[in-house]
């Protein structure tokens, strides 16, 4: 797990933190905040727009958001890296394109030649030689020491200080050396990009949820809306504040 961007945390110039470990994920869908109240309280506090999703009018559209798979990570190591500069370096864009972006996803590789520098951040994860992560910004890449050739994925994303205005586009491909000090990501697949709250995003999310349930012959579980609503409307002591 790589925590590399302090946006929304209130911290200035925070170091990156990499947590290595083993993840366990039972197949049981969790639909209640019971036992995990601290997590949901923190989420409602840091992402205020999330509170409206538990209102009666939004529940039918947003129930997929509250069907969760609980992932527990047992850490085996924690390392830190220098803060990632918010200002992209000058010079040519990195060679991460490999091949033209598919026409149906024209925005998926905006880290390549951004119209507005700094609008997107990107995170590179590689699968060969063990999992690893490196963080980049438009116009440059950070953490090259952790990058190795092989299968890799690139996540291009953005959000504001309230964790809203989210846009993300994962790209899967093969990472290759390019020249003496560069890297070239050859895309194999651009996964369906998603944005924040639009009708298209809702359709994608509901379709993915329906497919997940159907493949496993699962009935649609009921969300514990009263418990979530109570946490969403509880005063601000919920996020560890005094």
User: For residue range 200-237, what is the model confidence (pLDDT) as tens digits?
Assistant: 778 888 999 999 999 999 999 999 999 999 999 986 54
Closest CA to 174 of 66, 234, 68, 97: 97
Binning pLDDT at 50, 70 and 90, where does residue 122 land?
Answer: low
Calculate the CA dihedral of residues 186, 157, 4, 94 and round it to 10 degrees. Answer: 40
Residue 70 CA from chain centroid, whole number: 16
Residue 18 confidence (pLDDT) above 50: yes
pTM over 0.75: no
Largest CA distance in the chain: 58
């Amino acid at each position: 797990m790589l925590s590399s961007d302090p946006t929304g945390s209130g911290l200035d110039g925070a170091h990156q933190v990499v947590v290595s470990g083993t993840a366990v994920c039972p197949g049981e869908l969790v639909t209640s905040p019971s036992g995990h109240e601290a997590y949901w309280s923190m989420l409602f506090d840091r992402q205020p727009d999330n509170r409206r999703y538990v209102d009666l009018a939004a529940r039918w559209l947003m129930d997929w958001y509250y069907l969760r798979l609980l992932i527990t990570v047992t850490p085996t190591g924690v390392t830190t890296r220098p803060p990632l500069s918010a200002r992209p370096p000058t010079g040519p864009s990195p060679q991460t394109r490999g091949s033209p972006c598919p026409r149906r996803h024209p925005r998926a590789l905006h880290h390549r030649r951004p119209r507005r520098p700094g609008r997107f951040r990107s995170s590179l994860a590689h699968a060969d030689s063990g999992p690893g992560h490196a963080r980049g910004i438009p116009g440059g890449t950070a953490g090259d020491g952790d990058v190795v050739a092989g299968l890799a994925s690139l996540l291009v994303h953005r959000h504001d200080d309230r964790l809203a205005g989210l846009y993300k586009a994962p790209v899967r491909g093969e990472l290759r050396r390019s020249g003496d000090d560069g890297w070239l990501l050859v895309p194999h697949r651009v996964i369906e990009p998603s944005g924040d709250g639009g009708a298209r995003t809702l359709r994608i999310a509901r379709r993915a949820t329906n497919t997940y349930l159907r493949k496993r012959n699962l009935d649609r579980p009921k969300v514990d809306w009263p418990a979530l609503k109570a946490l969403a409307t509880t005063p601000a002591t919920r996020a560890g504040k005094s």
